């Protein structure tokens, strides 16, 4: 007997991270940044929430006065890049600000940046930057 696809999906995702929600002080600027830097697409749910999908994990941004920063003890979301310097240039061109320059760590290299909504992210690579 074949299993129902929806049951198979539920088992595959059972107790795995399925969705993340992040604050943003400036939803429009956050949206513009991710569209320009990473070609993300968003679905708006009113003026205070927008969702993204197909980015490794689905999620959304909600309007808030606070932002997610590692110095405050928040979780750090880390992107992977096959070309760290090219990704850094795209982030800066889209309005992101590098807050920790490229540094080596066990397993590779990475840098941290903030997007215009104030949230901090990191990008890592197992390939040494040129």
Ranges of each domain in the chain = 18-125
**The pLDDT value given to residue 10:** 66
The closest of 71, 72, 80 to 111, measured between CA atoms, is: 80
**The pLDDT value given to residue 14:** 83
The residue written with tokens 């943003």 in the block is 24
H or E element, residue 7: helix 5-13
How much of the chain exceeds pLDDT 70, in percent? 95
Where does the pLDDT of residue 3 fall: very low under 50, low under 70, confident under 90, or very high at 90 and above?
A: low
- The single-letter DSSP state of residue 10 is H
Per-residue pLDDT of 64-106, as tens digits, reads: 999 999 999 999 999 999 999 999 999 999 999 999 999 999 9
* CATH no. for 18-125: 3.10.180.10
The closest of 67, 82, 73, 72 to 114, measured between CA atoms, is: 67
The overall pTM is greater than 0.85: yes
With helix as H, strand as E and coil as C, how does 17-84 read?
CCEEEEEECCHHHHHHHHHHHHCCCEEECCCCEEEECCCCCEEEEEECCCCCCHHHCCCCEEEECCCH
| pLDDT at residue 1 greater than cutoff 50 | no
Per-residue pLDDT of 113-122, as tens digits, reads: 999 999 999 9
Contact 111, 101 (CB under 8 A): yes
């Amino acid at each position: 007997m074949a299993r129902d696809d929806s049951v198979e999906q539920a088992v595959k995702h059972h107790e795995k991270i399925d969705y993340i929600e992040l604050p943003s002080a400036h939803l429009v600027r956050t949206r513009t940044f991710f569209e320009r830097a990473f070609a993300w697409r968003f679905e708006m749910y009113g003026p205070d929430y927008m969702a993204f999908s197909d980015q490794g994990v689905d999620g959304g941004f909600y309007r808030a006065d606070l932002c997610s920063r590692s110095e405050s003890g928040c979780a750090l979301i880390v992107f992977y890049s096959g070309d760290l310097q090219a990704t850094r240039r795209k982030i800066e061109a889209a309005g992101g600000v590098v807050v920790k320059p490229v540094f080596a760590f066990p397993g590779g290299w990475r840098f941290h940046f903030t997007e215009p909504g104030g949230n901090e992210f990191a990008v890592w690579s197992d390939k040494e930057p040129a």
